[in-house]
Chains A and B, each alone.
Chain A
Amino acid sequence: MARVVAAMSGGVDSSVVAALLHEQGHEVIGVHMKLHDAPDPDKAGHCCGLDDALDARSVADRLGIAFHVLDLREAFRKAVMEDLSKTYLAGATPNPCIQCNGVLKFRVLLNRAIALGAESLATGHYAQITEGPGLARALDHDKDQSYFLFPMSHEALSRTLFPLGGMTKTEVRAHAHRLGLVTADKAESQEICFIPDQDHGRFIAEQHPGVDGSGDIVDSSGRVLGQHKGYWRYTVGQRRGLGVAAPFKLYVERVEPDTKRVVVGGAEGLWHTGLVASRWTWMDRPEPGEIVSARIRHNGHLVAASIDDGEKLVTVRFEDPVWAVAPGQAVVLYRGDQVLGGGWIRRAVEDKA
């Protein structure tokens, strides 16, 4: 059977991936990516701590497979950590998980797997690789992670295995128990693994100590409603943490890095009929005008949409308005379960619903 590198985070999903491939007779090489220096090994709730590496190693030892830790801290810092700061500083909302998948896992790690003589890289993502090769939603739509995987190249798809794409989480845990894996009952990992307290505002302030992002909170007419301590703490659609009293609920409408203003308003101001996105990855680009489904955030609803014939900048038009288009996030297009492509949101289309 083939040599396969299994990315082992130390969680239950990737543990089961390694175990199932081993059971099928593949020569499985367990690899744990060291992505950053965990602030405190005892606070291992995040994906890259020492405890997670040791859990992954325990699973590999139990299976009797090779296991190695690869130090990818430099690549991770450049592609994910610095991208997070840069994007927030530009007034947008980054998606570090997509960056990590697109660059770290399915470019750097995949290259390394090939350099180690492996035919493919296997991960614990819930998504399916189809003929073509193409990318499709997981059988279990509730667990589907295809939104996070759109930057995968054709070559990456052809050398990747997602063994869990046709399973439910319950089935995965059942496999973990059947195989006696120590990670069987581990909790799900957190959102931003390198910011354990999830306070990205603090992280950016620490990374850029000389930068003062404080400014005014204003309404759409420019009236000052209050002050904030850093515009990068705000995301389009955010309601909490504004500290402004108003007779109706206020949401962040826009973040302006040049003026450091955070523009707020009522929910009605956040409905958009379209968006413009760049840096597209296409698996199967739809014709202009064809009605497909679009998703503008993970776990967001699929909405009917169509695209124009733009090259670098592509405009996505929604059949019905969507709420809170956040620059920096991704838009991913689907036909049924099939991923057609995805791009990074630059801005909402200005004409409001």
Chain B
Amino acid sequence: MSDVPIYLDHNATSPPHPAVLDVALPLIQEHWGNTGSAHSLARAPHAAVEHARGQLATWAGARAKDLVFCSGATEANNLVVLGASGRVLCTATEHPSVLEAVQLRGGLVLPVDGDGLLDLECLEEELSKGAGLLSVLAANNETGVRQDTETIYAMAKAAGVPLHLDCAQLVGRHEAPENWDYMTVTGHKAGGLKGAGALLRRQGLALQALSYGGGQERGYRAGTLNPAPIASLGVVATLSHSSEIKTLRDQLEAACVSLGARVTGAGAPRLWNTCNVVFEGIQSDMLVVGLDLEGVCASAGSACSSGAAKASGVLLSMGIDHSALRLSLGWSTQAQDIARAIEVLKVVVARQRALGSESWHG
């Protein structure tokens, strides 16, 4: 095993991009002032935050003043779902920060098909009953499956229901969706720093604050702003949307298939960096551990605080009751990383297949 692990877990978080460090490090080392202060040390961090606001607004096609910075995509999702009035709808494959907030509010979870795509007939029916918000994960963090947000937007608009798109996995990777009413973003999946996210909204749409105290962000989100990760989010929004990584992802995915794996969401449009595969007969948490011991960082889906893999609600809602292996690439991924990862996968899968199925009877 080489000393530096091969990192294939960009959908969890990603290494800071050099362009991000250029902007962020001075904000930590020199320009550490409070953006709200009345003295000279507030200037640089304040300017950095406002610059990022502009960069992000440009990416999203929104007004800078309609953007609320917060601690991350989870908080942004909570903000829009918990603050919405009326019945809330979401898809079954949402990130838990939407799903649990919707369930907390007694909202409705809409089914998806075997590829993870929202059931549009069911959506039509529920929209016709009226709702205060529809929340949709534009690109799924586990499977990379991308919803048809343009069609969904048209349906929601016709029904007069505002559409929230969770775009946490899109910033720094793709163009922003054209049509939406609210949007969640974060930068740390594509080279940004952890600790910042934002909620955007179209002019004139309502928003209800969840935190109170300092009056920051026009009163919609109290708390001292965190300039370094916020600035990094702005930088990520300007990164070129190269899809060279897709070639590497396709190589990796083909190697998994040749080892007997099934690709999750194969029939749907997907993020070009994400490979989600099911190796039948091998538990994905064992694959993740096995890969880790050989120097490849992967994921089996969301993790609980003790580090145990939970059954994936995303896959269950797609009718897949097997655990999956998620390999997600990013800006730092090199061709030789994928070549090495494929070799390691072969060894780990063969070793685990050799043990066969576990028997605990008698």
Contacts and interface: CB of A to CB of B under 8 A. Distances in A.
Interface stretch (A113-121, A155-163, A174-182): A113-121
Given A34-B306, A34-B308, A71-B309, A115 B360 contact: no
Contacts of B360: 75, 78-79, 103-104, 107-108
B312 to A, nearest CB: 12
Contacts of A291: none
Size bin of chain A's contact surface: 20 to 34
Interface stretch (A61-69, A189-197, A238-246): A61-69
A108 B358 contact: yes
A32 interface: yes
Contacts of A53: 306-308
B292 A57 contact: no
Interface string B323-362: 0000000000000000000000000000110110011111
A227 interface: no
A111 B307 contact: no
Contacts of A111: 355, 358
Interface stretch (B190-198, B227-235, B283-291): B283-291
A70 interface: yes
Contacts of B290: 115-117
Nearest to B288: A68
Interface string A40-58: 0000000000100110010
B305 interface: yes
Contacts of B355: 111-112, 114-115
A66 B351 CA distance: 19
B293 interface: yes
Contact of A117 (B293, B359, B361, B362): B293
Contacts of B354: 115
A104 B358 CA distance: 10
A115 B347 CA distance: 10
A90 B354 CA distance: 37
Given A107-B360, A112-B286, A68 B351 contact: no
Interface in B135-153: none
A69 B306 contact: yes
Nearest to A75: B360
Nearest to B300: A71
B218 to A, nearest CB: 39
A265 B10 CA distance: 69
Contacts of A57: 306-307
B305 A50 contact: yes
Nearest to B347: A117
A320 to B, nearest CB: 33
A111 B282 CA distance: 13
A117 B293 CA distance: 9
Nearest to B355: A115
Interface string B36-57: 0000000000000000000000
Given A3-B293, A71-B283, A117-B294, 11 more contacts: A68-B285, A69-B285, A69-B306, A70-B289, A78-B360, A79-B360, A79-B361, A103-B360, A115-B354, A117-B290, A117-B293
Interface of B: 283, 285-286, 288-290, 292-294, 305-310, 351-352, 354-355, 358-362
Q: Which 6 A-B pairs have the closest CB atoms?
A: A53-B306, A69-B308, A69-B307, A79-B360, A115-B352, A34-B308
18 contacts: A50-B305, A57-B306, A68-B288, A71-B283, A71-B308, A71-B310, A79-B360, A79-B361, A103-B360, A104-B360, A108-B358, A111-B358, A112-B355, A115-B286, A116-B290, A117-B290, A117-B294, A279-B362
